[in-house]
Structure 1
């Protein structure tokens, strides 16, 4: 009986040690929250004045850094931009020779288009990061209606008031990854 008790105590201590290492380990956290395409993210974020941590958080939330993705609704690429939105961005930004296939399969193209669009949303919502994230998911028209009608005030504290459940969870997820990336990669 005592041998069994000692084994249980040792097991509990070992699990406690592993938990402490897991929670306090930056290298383990970096393995769990990697950032791929760092150079492309940095370049596009710098080009358009958006935070690279936020671009990385959106990519993580949208596709977990997998290229070639297409959503059920038709959004394409790493940053899951809808084709109509991509066409609008390409026209407004003056990008040349960008195809849907490039948007879907090339990380650099998807990040460039997505970062430009994010900058546009920042401008539309007076640099309100939370509203821009919500608009990235639900569309700027929906977010504008919510803000104008008082359904939502555009703050992180009132995210639970966002009428679309998908958008509510999306904003929470992006902010979680954004904060995690800022902690893990402060000099991104």
Structure 2
């Protein structure tokens, strides 16, 4: 009987702790501090607004790409907060007329965000503001997205990320859009 009573007390305490932990996890404070932090907020706002991008979309891209790690390096060689590939960054630097650009500058948060938002804005223009297509192009390449558009008869109204043929790109688009929504809820008030 004593063992049964102790077990009931233990189970009750575990349930109470789980409820408390769940409550803390769902507070805006916890979410902002540990799940959806927003470092470099001023830089993100500056370049997003300058380039007519939603700052929460940019935050979602950065969170998904690097979790706000300015020194992030992907196995494929993408660098910095917005995980730009060196070849893409060199092309962007040419378009922005940054003649003194060096790939290692992508570890600088301001340079990375400036160039990454420039690239996102070019994709936004190319894909007529369609966030699903521009994010798919950011992750999977604009050439692939154009190919899918022709192959699957997608137009600029395409919104169904589940139809994206690359699993990684499909997950990427969904993660960024979910993060964008959550950043809007937490920081957009």
TM-score (norm 2): 0.89
Selected match of 1:128 from 127, 130, 143: 130
Give the aligned partner of residue 111 of structure 1: 113
Q: What is the alpha-carbon distance in structure 2 between the residues aligned to residue 175 and residue 63 of structure 1?
A: 15
CA deviation after TM superposition for structure 1 residue 168, in Å: 0.8
Give the aligned partner of residue 76 of structure 2: 73
CA deviation after TM superposition for structure 1 residue 71, in Å: 2.0
Task: Please list the CA deviations of residues 57-82 of structure 1 after superposition, one character each: whole Å capped at 9, or x if unmatched.
Answer: 11111111112222222222211111
CA deviation after TM superposition for structure 1 residue 127, in Å: 0.7
Task: Please list the CA deviations of residues 78-127 of structure 1 after superposition, one character each: whole Å capped at 9, or x if unmatched.
Answer: 11111221122111122342211111x20110000000000000011011
5+ unaligned residues in a row in structure 1: which ranges? Answer: none
Selected match of 1:15 from 15, 18, 37: 18
Selected match of 1:180 from 157, 179, 182: 182
Provide closer, same or farther for how the CA distance between residues 21 and 69 of structure 1 changes in structure 2, counting only shifts above 3 A. closer
Matched, 1:44 2:50: no
Give the aligned partner of residue 161 of structure 2: 159
SS at match of 1:65: coil
Give the length in aligned residue pairs.
184
Matched, 1:59 2:62: yes
Q: What is the alpha-carbon distance in structure 2 between the residues aligned to residue 123 and residue 149 of structure 1?
A: 21
5+ unaligned residues in a row in structure 2: which ranges? Answer: none
Selected match of 1:142 from 134, 140, 144: 144
Query: 1:26·1:184 contact (CA, 8 Å) conserved in 2?
Result: yes
TM-score (norm 1): 0.89
After TM superposition, the structure 1 = structure 2 runs for residues 62-101 of structure 1, keeping only pairs within 5 Å, are 62-101=65-104
Q: What's the C-alpha RMSD, in Å, of the aligned pairs? A: 1.8
